[in-house]
Amino acid sequence: MNINPSSTPKSHILMPAFIKRHKILTAFLLIIAAFAIFAATKWRIWFHNPAEQPYVVAEHPQWVLLTFGNEGEQSRNISWMCGDEVKPSYLKLVDMGKADTPDIHGIRRSV
């Protein structure tokens, strides 16, 4: 049986190009689908902000900051924060080489 190439349907000639295009499109869609599934599973991790607890100021000093003062080389500024209302406060400063403990009355300012 002699097959004449001109008698074969053109769909058989175009089939390999169509299959190649179909495979490329399928692979591209699978990659997009995999990325979409990955992004959907990680979305809350990347973009979700959990609710934060409200900030509560402690009634006792949690930190004391000692910095250089403005009145000469021997002056120091001491600051601390405790409570949420402005009221008179004082600091007990102990010199480890001496036996006395002087009280330093502070001016509390709200910032």
pLDDT number for residue 111 = 47
Separation of alpha carbons 47 and 59, rounded Å: 35
Both 41 and 72 in a single domain? no
Separation of alpha carbons 44 and 28, rounded Å: 26
Both 69 and 39 in a single domain? no
pLDDT in tens, the chain (111 residues): 555 555 555 555 556 777 888 889 999 999 999 999 999 999 999 998 888 888 888 888 778 888 888 887 778 888 887 777 777 777 776 666 666 656 566 555 554
Both 41 and 68 in a single domain? no
pTM greater than 0.85 (yes/no): no
Domain boundaries, position 100? 64-106
- The number of domains in the chain is 2
H or E segment to which residue 80 belongs: strand 76-80
Provide the token pair at 76.
């120091």
Both 95 and 70 in a single domain? yes
In a domain, 80, yes or no: yes
